[in-house]
Structure 1
Amino acid sequence: MLIDCAKCELRNVGCADCVVSTMPAIPESGFDLGPLERRALGVLAAEGLIPPLRMTISVDRAS
């Protein structure tokens, strides 16, 4: 999963409650999360330790 905030439909709306806001500087090109990293973030979010990933991209904006 490529995390690219510029393509996220919740940009400037859900940023404050997104796990990306807890990460150090994000490169402009985004960054890639593999299945293990996404699962780890999901477990931490489910326990309330970090906010969930709010990344949402519509089909027409995905390309």
Structure 2
Amino acid sequence: MNRTCQTSRAPSAGADFAEHCAELLSSLGRVHARRMFLGWGLSVDGMTVAVIAWDTLFLRGCLNFCV
């Protein structure tokens, strides 16, 4: 199985959910999941595209130009 998700630390209770979310976002490219504050940050090409906190996936959005 070719995985597109990398987790930066040992598995934890939320690691499975973070990996699942990373698989959902894999159409954006290689997704890197790393522990942050209260949850996880998901990034593609070094840019954070989502945050997981309180068992909820928050997607980044912008009103102006996004790179």
More strand by share: 2
TM-score tier (shorter): under 0.3
Q: Scaled by the length of structure 2, what TM-score is found?
A: 0.27
Q: Scaled by the length of structure 1, what TM-score is found?
A: 0.28
More helix by share: 1
